[in-house]
Every structure is written in structure tokens, then in C-alpha cells.
Amino acid sequence: MKNDDLHNALSGINKEYISESDDFMAVSADFRKYKNRKKRIIASTLCIIFVCIGAIGTAKSGLLKSMPVKTGGKIEDAKEVGSSDYSVACFPADRVIDDVDTAKCVSITEEEAKNLPDFGDYLPSDIPSGYHWDLAGLYETTMKDGTVYRMLKITYRTDKVIKVADGENSYATIDSSDCGSDFYVTLCNYKPNNTSIVDSRAINAEQLSEKYDEGIFFIKYDDCYVGIETLSLAPNETLSLINSIGNSVQSLITELYYSDLVKNTDAPELDGYDTSAPLDIVAFEESMLNDSIGVIEGEILDIYVNHYEYETASDKFEPNGRLYHKPQTVAYKIKVDRVLCGDFSVGDVVTVEDYYFVCDSVVSIKKGETYVIPIGKGDGKFYETDEIVSGDTSLESCYYTLYQFHPQIEKVDGGYIVPIDWKTLITEECTAIIMDIDENGFPFSDSLYYVPENVFNDRINLIIHS
């Protein structure tokens, strides 16, 4: 059964028949209390269905672990659904089911949840309009070594209110045949087995929009992970929900704009450089770093255009003919502030010369800014197979930037601006940058990320030494 089918099956349960059970310890739904014994028996049965369906959906989200039901064992409340068996045990990915001593799941109220030491400070207070607390289950697993893992899964839902005529009067009531919409918030005191996790210090609206197709993502707050199920919510509703998390936790959503990070957002103007020159672009990969002779961090002291002229012998158009070449390059003077690898020294002024220069407000290297640049080394000459009959093919420098067609890593206050194709450098501590400037000439469509300095230093070493 697919997740959508499970969701629809659960949503189709008529809440008129659900009530508290006197002796059922698994997740129960305290919607209304009926004295009718038959309805209470039906309610208990539906609660069992809820636990089974909820356990399957939660397991597929990476929160619970699939396991064979162990009869006579200490794993409590294991339920068999169809051909698959699931336990209510919850624990991190680095633990196994054999480590579990006991596991249980109980229903709790909203007031009880607010007083939970693990989760009380991380409950959202700004629930989207029309939604209310529906039901919640607290999963608790004790491992054989005494470690306790907890998970709280909360369902918020909407009610469809209808008017019912009663003689000459009418009154509003809930339509029990229509359960409305719902969404889930999941809190756990361990890292869930879910690849979509972002740090609360490094999340913004753009990142949220990227997560929507994944259905559920987690935000890390200190030792608590808060999962948001987004299928029923609009982006602005999710943003408000996250900003309201916690009684004592400040709003942690930040919108990080490119123009706030970068001092110079103007495309450089280089006199005499032909920006219409053809570009031969190969997609960037981190493995290209293997072709570099060093990686340096330094300030761009100057940018200028070099003009060259030479002639080669050629029979292409006539016997004993000549071809006239007038290539251009763009050169940079870089003062080395830090050497990440290579045979350079701090304080050196290195001249780097590129055949191609992208004139763009984002992609271009800019004078006065500081970058981390992988450096390549050639023979210091234009490549020619024909005989040189006049002029010189020598370049000013044998060094060149390894890849000119995406933004170089730029140093800013507290960190670095990094293109997303540096995949190893982008972690859950990083923040997607909102582009709020016009790009001209060479629009760069991939995302840029703000990488904190400590994260960058750790991760760049992984690439360099791999």
C-alpha cells in the first residue's frame, strides 16, 4: 500500500466512532467520549488500525525500523499489517533492533506535550489557519544499554463545519463524514534516518521550496530534530510554522541575500576585451581539482586585458600563405593570503592568465575581492601546431584558473560563497543564497550557498586530500 493510500484510508475513518479506550495503551484518539460500549469497542479497533498504518508511514520516513515480530519478546506493540511487520521501536540509523529492550507508544494531549522535557520547547505555536491539534503519539524506546530514544508524532487537521437545521433554529457542527486536510509534525531526540535534514541556523525560504517534493524534511535544533510534512501546506504556511517553533527558541529562518554578502555586484568592465568570443564549456566536477597544481586564497589586486599578435604558416587558403592571430587574454594579479595546497607562499603576488573571461555580475572575478581559486599550470604559450613565422606565442604567465565558467569561491564575512557543484562543501550547516541582483551576459542558474568558515575549512581539506 502506498503512502497516499494509507493517508486516504486513515482520513476516511469516521471520527464519530473514535473515542478513548480504557485499556489500550497504543495511540488513541480522544475526539469525543461516548458512553455507548459498542462504539468504544469500534474505537479501540480503529486505534489499532491507526497504530499499524502510522507505524508503516513513519517507518518509510526513516523514523521507525522494520523488523520481524518477535513473539514472546520484550518488544511491545509490534503489529502485523499485510505482509510486512513493523515495530514501534524508534532509534538512530547506527543502532539495530537487537539493541532494543522495550518499546511502547502512548497517546498524549497537547498540554502533556508542552511539558515534555525533550520536545516542549520545540512545538510550533503558529498553526496554519483552520488547523488544530488532532492527536499525537509518543514513542519511547529503551535500549539494552539504558539509552532512551523518544519520538513525538503530531497530527494537525481541519474540520468541515456545517449548519444543521433544528426546527426554526440552526446550529453549527462538525461534518463527521469529511475529515478535511491534515499534516504531521514529528519531533525526535535522535538523528532520523532521513537524508533531508537542514540545520536551524542555516535555513531559508529558498531551501524550503527545494524540499517540497520530498514530502517531509527535518530541521535540527540543538539535540531535537523537528520533521515537517509539507504535502498539505503552502510555502508561506510552512515558513510561519517553522518560525513559531519553540517557547524559548527564537525565529531561526533567515533569508540570506546575495547583495548583503557581496560588496561588489557590478559586472566588471574590461577595455578591449571581446566578450563575444566563443566558449567551450565542460561541466564542472570536483575531480577536476586533480588537474590543479595548487589552491590559493587571495585578494585580486588588478585585472587587465593582454593583446597578442603572431603569424603562422598555412596552406589553408593559398600555397605558402599565412594566418594572422590576434588573441586576447584576461590576467589577474593575486596577492596570496593563504595556501591550501601547492608550491606557493603567503605574500606572493601571482599572475594568472585566462583565455576566457565571463563578464557577469555573479560569475566574474572582481578586483578588490578575495577568492579561493584552484590554479592550473601550462607551458606559458598559445597552443599552435603550425610554424610560427612572425611574432611570439609566449604568454605573460603559465598559470590559469582551473575553471572559469562558474563563480569562483568568494570569501565574505564569516564564510564563503560556494556554487552548488562543489558538492562536498555543501552540508546541512550551509545556507542557500537568494539571488536578488540582475545577471548580465552569462546567467548562472545553479544555486549558491553560504558555507560557514569552519565548515569550509574542514570540507575543502577532504577534497584536496582525497
Average pLDDT, stretch 245-259?
60
Q: Is 459 helix (H, G, I), strand (E, B) or coil?
A: helix
At 151 the pLDDT is 93
- Residue % of the chain over a pLDDT of 90: 33
- Angle value at C-alpha 325, between 321 and 331, nearest 5 degrees: 165
Q: Which of 67-81, 227-241, 382-396 is predicted least confidently?
A: 67-81
Which grid coordinates belong to 386? 603550425
| CA distance linking residue 279 with residue 444, whole number of Å | 15
pLDDT band for 396, please (50, 70, 90 cuts).
very high
Higher-confidence position of 107 and 249? 107
pLDDT, tens digit, 9 for 90 and up, residues 27-54: 322 222 323 333 333 333 333 334 443 4
186, β-bridge pairs = 153, 227
Determine the longest span between alpha carbons in the chain, in angstroms: 109
Which grid coordinates belong to 73? 519478546
For residues 303-341, b (16+ Cβ closer than 10 Å) or e, as one string?
beeeebebebebeeeeeeebeebeebbbbbbbbbeebbb
Positive or negative, the CA dihedral 111, 124, 137, 202 is negative
Q: Which of 8-12, 19-23, 208-212 is predicted least confidently?
A: 19-23
pLDDT averaged over every residue in the chain: 74
Q: Is 214 helix (H, G, I), strand (E, B) or coil?
A: helix
Which H helix or E strand runs over 11?
A: helix 3-11
Nearest partner of 185 among 139, 115, 136, judged by Cα: 136
How distant, in Å, are the alpha carbons of 88, 109, 202, 350 from that of 401? 55, 60, 30, 11
| CA distance linking residue 325 with residue 374, whole number of Å | 29
Higher-confidence position of 308 and 264? 308
Phi–psi pair at 423, nearest 5 degrees: -65, -35
Residue 148 confidence (pLDDT) above 80? yes
Nearest partner of 296 among 231, 352, 228, judged by Cα: 352
pLDDT, tens digit, 9 for 90 and up, residues 332-361: 999 999 999 999 999 999 999 998 887 777
Higher-confidence position of 223 and 336? 336
- Pair 97, 87: CB distance under 8 Å: yes
Higher-confidence position of 89 and 73? 89
Higher-confidence position of 91 and 266? 91
Residue 244 confidence (pLDDT) above 90? no
Amino acid at residue number 12: G
Positive or negative, the CA dihedral 96, 10, 189, 194 is positive
pLDDT, tens digit, 9 for 90 and up, residues 157-200: 887 666 666 666 766 566 666 667 888 899 999 988 765 666 55
- Pair 40, 62: CB distance under 8 Å: no
- Radius of gyration for the alpha carbons in the chain, expressed in angstroms and rounded: 31
Nearest partner of 207 among 57, 407, 420, judged by Cα: 420
DSSP states of 376-394: EE--SB----SPEEEE--B
Average pLDDT, stretch 257-263?
86
- Residue % of the chain over a pLDDT of 70: 67
At 204 the pLDDT is 54
Residue 8 confidence (pLDDT) above 80? no
At 441 the pLDDT is 53
pTM (2 d.p.): 0.49
DSSP states of 306-360: EE--EEEEE-SSSTTEEEEE--EEEEEEEEEEEEEEES--TT-EEEEEES-----
| CA distance linking residue 44 with residue 42, whole number of Å | 5
Residue 78 confidence (pLDDT) above 50? no
pLDDT band for 223, please (50, 70, 90 cuts).
confident
Nearest partner of 124 among 222, 256, 221, judged by Cα: 221
Residue 55 confidence (pLDDT) above 60? no
Kindly list the domain boundaries of the chain, sorted by start residue. 3-243, 261-464
